[in-house]
A = this chain, B = another copy of it.
Amino acid sequence: MAKHDPDLDLLFHALSDPTRRAILTRLARGPAPVMELAGPTGLRLPTVMRHLSVLERAGLVATAKDGRVRSCAIVPEALMPMRSWLDEQRAIWEARLDRLDDYVMKLMQERAK
C-alpha cells in the first residue's frame, strides 16, 4: 500500500506511553540527569531506564555519561518525520476536499444553465 518507514514505527511507539511523553516534556525544558527524571514520576530507576532506552532507540533522547552521572537531552529534530507525516495526510485530505468543491461548483453551474 505504501512504503514502510521503520523510523515512524519507533517514533509513534515511543510516544504511545504517558511516562515517556512526560519525560520528553521535562527534557524539552532542558537536559537532566536520569536520577532527576526518576524523582517526580515516583518510578523506580530501572523503569525509567527502560523508558529512556525506548526513547533513545526512536532517536528522541540522547544520553551521555558525565563522570558518575548519566545526563539526558531531548533531540527535537527527531519529531520532524512525524510532523511531515501529519502534513502529508492533511495534504491528501485537503486535495480531496478541493476536488469535492470543484465537483459541487460544476454541478451548480450545470444546474444554473
Please give the residue numbers on chain A whose beta carbons come within 8 Å of chain B beta carbons, in ascending order: 1-2, 4-5, 8-9, 11-13, 15-19, 21-26, 28-30, 40-41, 74, 76, 79, 82-83, 85-86, 88-90, 92-93, 96
| Copies of this chain per assembly | 2
Choose among B18, B28, B89 the residue that contacts A24 (Cβ–Cβ < 8 A). B89
Choose among B5, B89, B90 the residue that contacts A18 (Cβ–Cβ < 8 A). B5
Q: Is the CB of B79 within 8 A of A28?
A: no
What are 14 A-B interface contacts by the 8 Å CB criterion?
Answer: A1-B22, A1-B41, A2-B21, A2-B22, A8-B15, A12-B12, A13-B13, A21-B85, A25-B89, A28-B89, A28-B92, A29-B96, A30-B96, A76-B90
